[in-house]
Amino acid sequence: MVRGLFPGRFQPPHWGHIYAVKEILKEVDEVIIAMGSAQFNYLLKDPFTAGERIWMLREGLREGGVDLSRVVIIPIPNVENNLEWLGRVKSYTPPFDVIYTGNPFVALLFREAGYEVRQQPMFQRERYSSTRVRELLLRGDPSWEELVPKSVAEIIKKLRGAERVKTAASGEAEPHKW
């Protein structure tokens, strides 16, 4: 069995992510989705919780026709030290053979650790990005819904995601500093 690793934040998942997973599954038997920054939420860059993102991604993959028996989604908290992060990824996930990423720094870390690294499949990257979805939510522009699966849009609406992003942008959602 060949297992691939696909790390990302998925804040929120969009059609580009669904495309990437479908393409990766043409090359491997199983894909592990390492959902990074698991401890962050209610922030402008990270508005959704790990659990909410897992829910969105599973529903989006299901809507996209992906066989969920071939997908493992694991939330992984960040750490400040990049080599420690690499170790954390390895300790949180089943063994994997190849990593798919579009991030040159992540590629470097895994290559130096001896892993085969492949370019993450991209689908209209200029159109499909989580940053763009969050920006449109912030502006109140309903065109964000075209960038995500319908199931993901419904979850974001149920979570009042636009309000969450706007509150985070206003600075009212800063982490507590006791």
Q: Which of 161, 169, 153 is nearest to 137 (CA)?
A: 161
d(CA 176, CA 140): 27
Per-residue model confidence (pLDDT) at position 174: 56
Spell out the per-residue pLDDT of the chain, length 178, in tens. 999 999 999 999 999 999 999 999 999 999 999 999 999 999 999 999 999 999 999 999 999 999 999 999 999 999 988 888 999 999 999 999 999 998 898 999 999 999 999 988 777 877 789 999 999 999 999 999 999 999 999 999 999 999 999 999 987 655 544 3
Domain 3-169 has CATH 3.90.550.10: no
Q: Whole-model pTM? A: 0.91
User: Under a CB-based contact definition with an 8 Å cutoff, are residues 173 and 138 in contact?
Assistant: no
d(CA 21, CA 61): 8
Q: Is 173 helix (H, G, I), strand (E, B) or coil?
A: coil
d(CA 14, CA 73): 16
Which single residue is written with the structure tokens 């998925």? 10
Per-residue model confidence (pLDDT) at position 178: 39
Where does 11-170 have alpha helices with state H?
15-24, 50-63, 82-92, 104-112, 130-139, 150-158, 161-169
- Domains of the chain, by residue range, sit at 3-169
d(CA 21, CA 28): 10
d(CA 110, CA 107): 5
Angle (CA) 33 103 1, round 5°: 40
Per-residue model confidence (pLDDT) at position 173: 54
The pairs formed by 132-135 with CB atoms below 8 angstroms and a separation of 24 or more are: 133/12, 133/14, 134/11, 134/12, 134/44, 134/45, 134/47, 134/165
